């Protein structure tokens, strides 16, 4: 059922609308016969907001099926990204890390849906309006078994200082953490991205890890005209190209490497091959410049950035 105007306020436009787009993609992925990731909460967010109440949440509702550029190809990309980053965070948790920080958490429900080991805390950092919408929808659902991890929400604008809010909510900088910025840096101004790297490094002890997504360079005119961007803009009102910050990006990978983090960069297509499903390269390709970065802070090595994986 569509939500109230108050509920919709935090997700009615801009980056909040992209959170609904990702939730719809996760809902469709969940109901595929071969899901890469499952999120039983995602469709409830989509149906609760007036802006997205008519969007598909199941494969049979997608016009054109797998061939649809929006809910087929881009949707499968979001499903693959969700799976890869789920796996990343769980590896850290089962390796002994007990603090998980989701920067720009949006409508993600990892605290609820993943099988965390005992003692984990998931910190969700995002704008107050987005978190309020998220909590309103979740609170209206029937009570389940409850999350395996403690869930702590921190209302903050990631374009500004947010570290004090995180530590004030119980984050312990003396213990290792696993950080995630999923689909976030593309929308931040360069100064905010630099501040984010500074803050993550300052609050991370040795053994901490971070994963995030970047785009390489400025996309060409034919890529900007690709069906993925056109479909998102025309069919659901999400102008991704307008939301992406157009200023030159800082080299966050080299920055982290210089601070003693070992880094690895992968293309999405690397994981398509690994899992046997997901998007493959095409022309023109709105996904070709996307890279997923994984880094670990070492107590001794100054680190060096791994070469780009083609």
Domain ranges of the chain: 73-226+242-297
Question: What confidence tens digit (pLDDT) does each residue in 162-221 have?
Answer: 999 999 999 999 999 999 999 999 889 999 999 999 999 999 999 999 999 998 877 788
Closest C-alpha among 288, 270, 279 to residue 79: 279
pLDDT of residue 246: 74
Q: Percent helix, strand and coil across the chain, each rounded to 5?
A: 45, 15, 40
pLDDT of residue 284: 85
Going from the C-alpha of 13 to that of each of 25, 201, 249, the distances in angstroms are: 17, 31, 24
**Could you tell me if 166 and 105 are in contact, meaning their C-beta atoms sit under 8 angstroms apart?**
no
pLDDT of residue 222: 87
Query: What CATH number has the domain spanning 73-226+242-297?
Result: 3.40.50.150
Q: Which residues contact 67 (CB under 8 A, 6 or more apart)?
A: none
Residue 84 has pLDDT above 80, yes or no: yes
Q: How far apart are CA 155 and CA 163, in angstroms?
A: 11
Tokens of 278: 């997901």
Residue 309 has pLDDT above 60, yes or no: no
Question: What confidence tens digit (pLDDT) does each residue in 91-102 have?
Answer: 999 999 999 999
Strand ranges of the sheet holding 290-297, from the earlier edge strand across to the other edge:
150-155, 121-126, 99-103, 177-181, 209-215, 290-297, 261-266
pLDDT of residue 76: 95
Per-residue exposure over 203-241, b if at least 16 CB sit within 10 Å of its own CB, e if not? bbeebbbbbbbbbeeebeeebeebebbebbeeebebebb
List phi, psi (to 5°) of 215: -115, 140
Going from the C-alpha of 308 to that of each of 135, 197, 263, the distances in angstroms are: 38, 20, 10
Share of the chain above pLDDT 70, in %: 91
- Name the pTM for this structure: 0.91
Q: Tell me the mean pLDDT in the region 48-69.
A: 94
Question: What confidence tens digit (pLDDT) does each residue in 128-179 have?
Answer: 999 999 999 999 998 766 678 999 999 999 999 999 999 999 999 999 999 9
Confidence label for 243 from pLDDT (cuts 50, 70 and 90): confident
Asked if omega into 130 is within 30° of 0 (cis), the reply is: no
pLDDT of residue 97: 98
Residue 307 has pLDDT above 70, yes or no: no
Residue 231 has pLDDT above 80, yes or no: yes
Q: Which residues contact 217 (CB under 8 A, 6 or more apart)?
A: 289
Share of the chain above pLDDT 90, in %: 78
The separation between CA 210 and the C-alpha centre of its own chain, rounded to angstroms, equals 12
Confidence label for 29 from pLDDT (cuts 50, 70 and 90): very high
Q: How far apart are CA 293 and CA 180, in angstroms?
A: 10
Question: What confidence tens digit (pLDDT) does each residue in 276-303 have?
Answer: 999 999 988 999 999 999 999 998 644 3
List phi, psi (to 5°) of 236: -130, 5
Going from the C-alpha of 239 to that of each of 5, 14, 118, 216, 236, the distances in angstroms are: 22, 8, 41, 19, 9
Confidence label for 249 from pLDDT (cuts 50, 70 and 90): confident
For all residues of the chain together, what is the average pLDDT? Answer: 90
């Amino acid at each position: 059922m569509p939500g109230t105007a108050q509920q919709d306020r935090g997700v009615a436009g801009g980056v909040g609308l992209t959170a609904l787009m990702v939730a719809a993609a996760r809902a469709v992925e969940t109901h595929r016969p071969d899901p890469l990731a499952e999120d039983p909460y995602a469709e409830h967010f989509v149906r609760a907001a007036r802006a997205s109440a008519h969007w598909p949440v199941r494969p049979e509702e997608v016009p054109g099926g797998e061939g649809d550029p929006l809910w087929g190809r881009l949707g499968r990309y979001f499903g693959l990204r969700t799976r890869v980053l789920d796996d990343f965070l769980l590896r850290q948790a089962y390796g002994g890390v007990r603090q998980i920080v989701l920067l720009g958490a949006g409508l993600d429900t990892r605290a609820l849906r993943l099988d965390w080991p005992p003692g984990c805390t998931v910190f969700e950092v995002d704008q107050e309006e987005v978190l309020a919408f998220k909590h309103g929808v979740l609170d209206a659902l029937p009570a389940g078994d409850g999350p395996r991890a403690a869930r702590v929400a921190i209302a903050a604008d990631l374009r500004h200082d947010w570290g004090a809010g995180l530590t004030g909510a119980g984050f312990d900088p003396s213990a290792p953490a696993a950080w995630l910025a999923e689909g976030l840096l593309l929308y931040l101004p360069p100064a905010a991205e630099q501040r984010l790297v500074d803050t993550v490094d300052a609050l991370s002890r040795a053994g901490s890890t971070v994963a995030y997504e970047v785009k390489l360079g400025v996309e060409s005119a034919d890529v900007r005209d690709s069906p993925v961007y056109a479909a998102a803009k025309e069919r659901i009102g999400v102008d991704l190209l307008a939301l992406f910050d157009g200023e030159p990006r800082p080299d966050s990978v080299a920055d982290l490497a210089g601070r003693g983090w070992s880094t690895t960069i992968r293309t999405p297509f690397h994981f398509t091959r690994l899992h046997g499903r997901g998007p493959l390269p095409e022309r023109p390709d709105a996904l070709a410049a996307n890279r997923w970065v994984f880094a670990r802070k070492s107590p001794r090595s100054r680190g060096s950035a791994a070469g780009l994986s083609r």
